[in-house]
Amino acid sequence: MAPDIPMFSLFFASIFTSNILLANFLGMCSFIAISKDISSSNGLGMAVVVVLTFTASINWLVLNYVLIPLDLVYLRFIIFIIVIASVVQMLEMIIDRVSQTLYLNLGIFLPLITVNCAILGVSLFMEIRQYSFLQTAVFGLGSGLGWWLAIMALAAIRKKTEKSKVPAGLQGAGLTFITIGFMAMAFIGFTGLLQVQ
């Protein structure tokens, strides 16, 4: 049932050619708000990588071992959101116990992640494309890394454009969108390399 895609291609496709942010537009809200600052971008990026990998895998297990056997697939939106919220909460507690420095760097970003569209998006894509468990984990990890890469790149670019003189109306959000457009073109340029949806 699972599509026959080599793991390696899936991994690279989810980082570059079908970047969760630039090709599928997921996780834009926090992307635009946070990318003003490089170190916050880095923290949020790392948190997204961790949460995406975990939630995608757990949601796969829940979907295939609970929802499908019980014929409750129509409830998946609610269940996925609950799983995401509880995983985020648990990660926050674990990180708090294990390392205080990591908590200070990552902890404040975790609550933000529950409402990040990228997290729910990856779980929904995994359901629609019928990935296997391993494929889901790889896809989650790759998408997270892709998101991290994109937000770091944008934060660096915005630092440069901050001081440049642009028309008043274009300042801020307008310019950011156009910058993202150029970034998206660059990422899509990788498409010739891999043909994976």
Partner 1 sequence: MSDSAKQPGQILKQNMWTANPIFMQILGICSALAVTNLLSNTMIMTLGVVFVTGMSNLTVAIIKNLIPRKVRMVVQTLIIAFYVIIVDIVLRAYLPEISRNLGPYVGLIITNCIIMGRAEAFAQSNPPLLSLWDGITSGMGYMGVLLSIALVRELLGFGALFGFQVLPEGFEPWIIMVMPPSAFFLIGVITWGGKYLMHRQGEPVLEGE
> Contact positions toward partner 1, by CB under 8 A?
22-29, 32-33, 36, 74-78, 80-81, 85, 115-121, 124-125, 127-128, 167-170, 172-178, 180-182, 184-185, 188
The encoded tokens of residue 84 equal 């995401």
Residue with smaller CB distance to partner 1, 28 or 46: 28
CB of residue 193 vs partner 1: minimum separation in angstroms? 16
CB of residue 65 vs partner 1: minimum separation in angstroms? 20
Residue with smaller CB distance to partner 1, 78 or 93: 78
Q: Say how far apart CA 152 and CA 156 lie, in whole Å.
A: 6
Residue with smaller CB distance to partner 1, 2 or 173: 173
Residue with smaller CB distance to partner 1, 23 or 194: 23
CB of residue 104 vs partner 1: minimum separation in angstroms? 24
CB of residue 81 vs partner 1: minimum separation in angstroms? 6
Residue with smaller CB distance to partner 1, 124 or 152: 124
CB of residue 98 vs partner 1: minimum separation in angstroms? 26
CB 24 within 8 A of CB 146: no
